[in-house]
Structure 1
Amino acid sequence: MHPPSLLLLLATVLVLLVSRGTSGEEKPKLYSNQWAVEVVGGEEEAKKLAQSHGFSYKGKILSGIYLFEHRAVFKRSLRQNLQRHQRLRREPTVRWLEQQEIKRRIKRDFRQKRTIEFSDPEWSAMWYLHNPNNLDMNVIPAWEKGYTGQGVVVTILDDGIERDHPDLEENYDPDASYDVNADDPDPMPRYNPSNENRHGTRCAGEVSSVANNDVCGVGIAYHSRIGGVRMLDGDVTDAVEAKSIGLRPEHIDVYSASWGPDDDGRTVDGPASLAKAAFETGIREGRGGKGSIFVWASGNGGRDEDSCNCDGYTNSIYTMSVSSASERGNIPWYLEKCSSTLATTYSSGSGAERQIVSTDLRHRCTESHTGTSASAPLAAAIVALTLEANPNLSWRDLQHIVVRTARPDNLHADDFTTNAAGYKVSHAFGFGLMDAGAMVNLAERWQNVPPQRVCSVPGMNRPTSIPASNRLVLHKTTDGCKDTNKEVTRLEHVQARLTITTMRRGELQIYLISPSGTRSTLLDHRSRDDSASGFNGWEFMTTHTWDENPEGTWTLEINNMDRHAGMLKEWTLVLRGTSESQGHPSNPHTPHPQLCTQTDSNGVCIGRNFTHTHTLYSYVYYVYLSKRKAVSCNTESDRRSYAEHLSFLWLMTEKGQASGPHMIEHIS
């Protein structure tokens, strides 16, 4: 007979070995001893039901959905407990139930061999806030206008927050905090010699470190209220994520998350049903119906050729996906490129470049916060300043403001392109570096955009083969659901919902080209992804066509580098945005009204705002086309679209990249 402790050890090792899997296999699922159960009749009925079946009642997850736990079931098992599942399902008051799967979620920073500790104020080390070469996030102008995050509540979803840290306790908000792992109100992290649970405290300090208190540094939103949710220091299930994401949306304004599925270049994973419902509830009901703001780190899998479009959190329309730039404006080695990234803040880079200052565990400070983990809280803090400038902004208004104000200048990526609306955008950096000063300026005069419309367009009638070592190209022409209540003439998010079978998922490259020619890389080659699972209704998202008109022919291109053919079983094009028929507010295309951005010593203009000039030329051409009533431009949207096109030709003429006569041919 083996002693029980030895048997337990062997069982644990076996589970770990099996769960790790081999490089060519999907990782098996691990099930917990908890069930999410939707019960008719409210909380008291749920408690009675749990007790009658031998479960412990663990509380409410979402409205009408409760968490049950059974002590006789293994906390971690490779098999579902179907017997108890079926018994519960037969109850007439049970609408839905799900045994909770344990999910692997990774904190998106990097362990440093040594944490540098300082007791002196760290303001001088915060290069990303006061760089003399203007290579910063332009926060000081927002502060000078009096915006410091006052009245805005930010919560860090992570491994806890050291609420009694001397640089945080003054701004700590217990109503924005909870310990989901231990099911109690106190989010204090669990301490151990390796300080592994420092992540949330570091993220919190970037947002709300108190100013002028002679401790550590300064939070970007140093008068905001800061909360923390301890949810990563234990088994992460769908219920854990949903309770965290859905915590008090009537009180919390901004949720910052610097974690996600494995950044290993082979995982495709995202929120399950409960977490999705929590996102949707936050968007629908958060902030008095204006929508919770979810800020997400885009991921650190660059070294493993990972794509953030395979991460269902950053790839969601509901999250503001934030990338990182190094101190010198370079692409960090860990950065993941994808079309869903909205914008960028600074973080760590090469060994010679500086990192991010923040609070640390045990009442300490650090100058070595890293990765996209450090970028998301900086973005959340800038969002807090923007919401203080205009509390009436919706979640979509906020994304519009980011797109219009982000600065691509001084960021070094070779894939920056200009879309048909005049925005420069990159798969590495999104629309560019977030600009706090420009965001609060634009927020002050921003008018809310109309409700979002959704136009879904089936892209194919039957399954189509993806040839081996070749490519599949499909075209779909749409009018953007014209003359219906789903009509979209100005895009925000675009999704391609794809179901694909393949022998080796990582050998696929997927591109979506808009009618205006904007090319989005939905999926790049992932050499480590040898899964045969393909994609099942996965919604690849792009922001690159923001403000374009969707009318025309869209192209889906799938390159298959594998020696085996694949199969495209579903392609649905989902166009999200607004319509001219809704009546668009007169929000400026750019927050910088001045044509001239740089003058010499005599006051003569030597630098011009490209985007504003483009907008001015567009307007001139629009008036011209309206009066001329050209046959090819007899609708409002046609005239606007063609005016945009002509203005670019003129700008290229000024830059010496096109000839004037060629441009004239287009309007004569």
Structure 2
Amino acid sequence: MKKNITMNTLVLLSLLGCGSGDDDISTTKNNDDISVDTGDDSVSKNKNNKPELNGDTVYFYVGNNTLVHKLPIIDKDGDKVTYKVINLPQSGDFSVDDKNSEFTFTANLSSIKEEVVSLIASDGLDEIEFDITLQPELVLKPEEFQSSDNIIEGQFEFVSGADVEFTYNVISDENTPSFIPLISNINGAAMSDVNSFVINEDGSFKLTAQPYSDPIFIDVTLTSNDKTVTAQIKYLTEQKNINIDAFSDPLYFQQWHLNNTGQDAYSLSKASEGFDINIGQLHVQGITGKDIHVAIVDSGLEIAHEDLVENVIPDMSYDFVEQDDDPSPNQDETGGDHGTSVAGLTAAVGFNGKGGRGVAPSAGLSGFNYLKAQGMDVFYETHGGDKTQTADVINQSYGYGLPIILPTNAFNFEVQEVFIKNHYEVVNKPALMIKSAGNGFNRLFGDKRINSSEEETRLPAQIANSDPANASFYNTVVSALNANSDAPLSSYSTVGSSVLFAAPGGEYGVQYPAMITTDVAGCDRGYSAESEFGGYSGGLDDETQSESECSYTSIFNGTSSAAPVASGVAALIMQSNSDLTWRDVRYIMAKTATKIDLDFAPVILSQGGEQYIAEPGWITNEAGNSYHNWYGYGMINAVEAVQMATRNDELLPPLVESEFVTSNIVGSVNIPENLEGITQQIEITDDITIEAIQLKLDINHERMSDIAVEVISPSGTRSVVATPRHLHHWNPKDYFGYDAEVLFLSHAFLDEPAKGIWIVKVIDTNKNIMRLDYFGNESELANNTVLGSLAGASIKVYGHK
């Protein structure tokens, strides 16, 4: 008896250790009756039923619609079943919900095939391994097709039943509605990229696209047995450079002006994603500026620079100081070389694993140090003369910034204008001359205006027309943009009615992004240099500076940057269509520019209870073109410009220039000090379609800063060619004699008819003291002591019949 009790005690301890409540073991509560029998019949245990397959194991799915279904498993005991997936399908996302005993499958259609998924079902005691089959019933694979030309032929991968039908929607670009209705022939539709698209019942197709199309997305719908499925198909045409590595240039990923991903470009702030010149696929499509010659007329050009040398045309550059063909800066010049950085923005070599990339990474370069040897002979040779006869584009990143609107008889401007005009008339294919507007929005010649109102802060210190070279029809003037789409004008950029379009120029590269480009090589000179106290100047990071031997910079800026970016886009356009003239190219750049800063509010000045709209902002002329003194026709758009260049067979007719037509002024007319001003009428009788107009004024005023000048076309378009409160306060007649006349150019009337009555209006907008700040020293400019006067006004029209 003693032995029997001991064994029962051990059994009780074992049960407590395993947890109470197990229904499989039966015991008695009466200790007197405790007994143990080692035979199998002494312990009662129910037999477990393991999970079983029940139902079909093949499931059909349609497209990438999510399939949710019960798993084919039952458990007769009602036990909770859990699942383990042994192998996941390769063509979609698969998951199991244990609670509901369901599976979810979403096909990604990377490949259309039958998938077998193996699983284990367990009730905690027993398990079973089983398979289910996922079978495509109606599937159309989203695919990408490409071609080296503008025609793509191929066949869709799909699974369907009987009665197959294909329909489609072409997803268009921003210039047309988001979706085009389903049609069988889209030749007549308003789509810029697709010429025709045909699908056959077997899924074969043929797409014919316009030249240099953006990626084309087409939603194709497959219908079969009353079920439908849609997939988006991507088409890439003219993929000529598909082997290039878009990210092989290590600094490219920070060049926001080429591809703005919201990067900081080594500054403290990020750029606005998507705000760039829209290079798009052009480089991949073979549009890289190849065989186009861009002359950099500047301070020089380091022709052996590692990221420029492949594009420098041998023996085409010139040093006017040393009289040789190498305009590279001398070793004793420790500062940066402006021309070298300008050249990098236009045509730094692309896809070579070095530095960044130019807008036209295969364009040819030549360089000239005109700024170190200025003179009329040098001007002639570099502005269409002997040294630049073969140039397709001449980049001029320089200009004047003086407290005077320079008259036409100053500094040989009239002589230069005559030379350039003759060049354009004599040379078979003259170059497009692109010029920076200036960097004087906030300060001019050291002076900064102490503003008398909030509105006055929005008026520029320098107007672009103050430089007669900017007022020349033959120069294409560019203003500068920063990386912020909400306030895109670069803080320093000179603006005015002679600006044709805008391009990225950046800010200063510390608080806000500047431009990343080439710098003279070597850490002992240039914008990027090693400090004796450690670290580097020139932006970038220390590792990049060290590895590249300080050959690049991220702090270059100015309209000096905007001009070469525009020159690069011009080179892309010229490569795409060699028949274009310089006028065609810049007309295309203006017509395809992107309108920006849409919330710009006009600048309104108040005086004596009157108001004057000193800067109207965006205006739309009679021809439907929108123009802004700050941005011209907008930010240049490379893709759309190339597309227009290759899709429009109509080139501009020959240039027509009228004579200067004089107003009805008889003698000198005083300019009152009120916001009404004086007006003069000029009748143009020539039937010319306008490309630009020039206004010449014989004006005399003691404080020219007060003067606003506007021109109103016969169609009613108003262009302010000289905004007031600028800092060109000197009277030109006091410095250049009474034959000094000032010249203004306006691009606001593009495509309008010139014939009719023009109105010229001159307004004296300020009768108060004007206060200036010269680097902390304040001064005052008293109001004019006598009324200003206008002795003559005349207009010249440039355009075509």
TM-score range, shorter chain: 0.5 to 0.7
Partner of 2:413: 272
Q: Deviations over 1:448-481 (max 9, x none)?
A: 2111222332212422323341354324253532
TM-score (norm 1): 0.64
Letter in 1 for 2:721: L
Which of 264, 285, 297 is matched with 1:145 structurally? 285
Report if the CA contact (8 A) 1:147-1:389 is conserved: yes
Report if the CA contact (8 A) 2:249-2:352 is conserved: no
Letter in 1 for 2:253: S
Report if the CA contact (8 A) 1:510-1:522 is conserved: yes
Partner of 1:224: 363
**CA 1:529–1:207: 2 relative to 1, 3 Å:** closer
Q: Deviations over 1:530-553 (max 9, x none)?
A: 323248233211000100122333
After TM superposition, the structure 1 = structure 2 runs for residues 146-545 of structure 1, keeping only pairs within 5 Å, are 146-192=286-332, 194-196=334-336, 198-234=337-373, 236-245=374-383, 246-262=385-401, 272-286=413-427, 289-304=428-443, 305-329=461-485, 330-349=488-507, 351-362=510-521, 364-410=551-597, 413-414=600-601, 415-446=617-648, 447-456=650-659, 457-470=661-674, 472-476=677-681, 478=683, 480-481=685-686, 487-488=687-688, 490-534=689-733, 536-545=740-749
Distance 1:411 1:131 in 2: 19
Distance 2:592 2:473 in 1: 19
Q: Deviations over 1:106-151 (max 9, x none)?
A: xxxxxxxxxxxxx982011111111244311111232233110011
Distance 1:301 1:264 in 2: 11
Partner of 1:609: none
What is the deviation of 1:274?
A: 4.5
Decide which moves more: 423-432 or 272-281. Answer: 272-281
What is the deviation of 1:264?
A: 5.1
Q: Deviations over 1:476-527 (max 9, x none)?
A: 253532xxxxx31x21111111111222222221111112222111112245
Letter in 1 for 2:293: V
Distance 1:357 1:577 in 2: 37
Report if the CA contact (8 A) 2:249-2:357 is conserved: no
Distance 2:422 2:755 in 1: 31
Distance 1:145 1:563 in 2: 64
Q: Deviations over 1:602-656 (max 9, x none)?
A: xxxxxxxxxxxxxxxxxxxxxxxxxxxxxxxxxxxxxxxxxxxxxxxxxxxxxxx
What is the deviation of 1:570?
A: 1.8
Partner of 2:42: none
Q: Deviations over 1:420-471 (max 9, x none)?
A: 1111111001000000101111111332211122233221242232334135
Indicate the SS of the match to 1:176.
Answer: coil
Distance 2:332 2:754 in 1: 54
After TM superposition, the structure 1 = structure 2 runs for residues 77-88 of structure 1, keeping only pairs within 5 Å, are none
Report if the CA contact (8 A) 2:381-2:388 is conserved: no
**CA 1:416–1:389: 2 relative to 1, 3 Å:** same
Indicate the SS of the match to 1:339.
Answer: coil
Indicate the SS of the match to 2:310.
Answer: helix
After TM superposition, the structure 1 = structure 2 runs for residues 523-602 of structure 1, keeping only pairs within 5 Å, are 523-534=722-733, 536-560=740-764, 561=766, 562-579=784-801
Partner of 1:105: none
Partner of 1:12: none
**CA 1:324–1:476: 2 relative to 1, 3 Å:** same
What is the deviation of 1:247?
A: 4.0
Indicate the SS of the match to 1:460.
Answer: coil
TM-score (norm 2): 0.54
Distance 1:421 1:343 in 2: 17
Q: Deviations over 1:53-80 (max 9, x none)?
A: xxxxxxxxxxxxxxxxxxxxxxxxxxxx
Distance 1:239 1:127 in 2: 39
**CA 1:403–1:468: 2 relative to 1, 3 Å:** same
Distance 1:382 1:539 in 2: 29
Distance 2:645 2:288 in 1: 14
Q: Deviations over 1:205-246 (max 9, x none)?
A: 111111122211011111111110012124x23333222212
Indicate the SS of the match to 1:227.
Answer: strand
Distance 1:563 1:338 in 2: 28
**CA 1:270–1:290: 2 relative to 1, 3 Å:** farther
Letter in 2 for 1:222: P
Distance 1:317 1:408 in 2: 23
Letter in 1 for 2:369: R
**CA 1:397–1:577: 2 relative to 1, 3 Å:** same
Whichever structure has more helix as a proportion of its residues is 1
Report if the CA contact (8 A) 1:179-1:185 is conserved: yes
Report if the CA contact (8 A) 2:404-2:729 is conserved: no
What is the deviation of 1:153?
A: 0.3
Letter in 2 for 1:177: S
Partner of 1:124: 253
Letter in 2 for 1:536: A
Distance 1:190 1:466 in 2: 55
What is the deviation of 1:174?
A: 3.3
**CA 1:263–1:398: 2 relative to 1, 3 Å:** farther
Report if the CA contact (8 A) 2:406-2:468 is conserved: no
Q: Deviations over 1:147-166 (max 9, x none)?
A: 10011000111111000001
What is the deviation of 1:285?
A: 3.6
Decide which moves more: 247-256 or 336-345. Answer: 247-256
Indicate the SS of the match to 1:309.
Answer: helix
Distance 1:176 1:199 in 2: 19
Indicate the SS of the match to 1:171.
Answer: coil
Indicate the SS of the match to 1:174.
Answer: coil
**CA 1:270–1:377: 2 relative to 1, 3 Å:** farther
Report if the CA contact (8 A) 1:156-1:229 is conserved: yes
Report if the CA contact (8 A) 1:413-1:428 is conserved: no
Q: Deviations over 1:251-273 (max 9, x none)?
A: 11111011011255665666535
**CA 1:395–1:464: 2 relative to 1, 3 Å:** same
RMSD: 2.3
Report if the CA contact (8 A) 1:261-1:267 is conserved: no
Question: May I ask how many residue pairs the two structures share in their alignment?
Answer: 451
Distance 1:242 1:422 in 2: 38
What is the deviation of 1:566?
A: 2.1
Distance 1:244 1:176 in 2: 11
Report if the CA contact (8 A) 1:154-1:253 is conserved: yes
Letter in 1 for 2:624: G
**CA 1:271–1:376: 2 relative to 1, 3 Å:** farther
Letter in 1 for 2:329: P
Indicate the SS of the match to 2:740.
Answer: strand
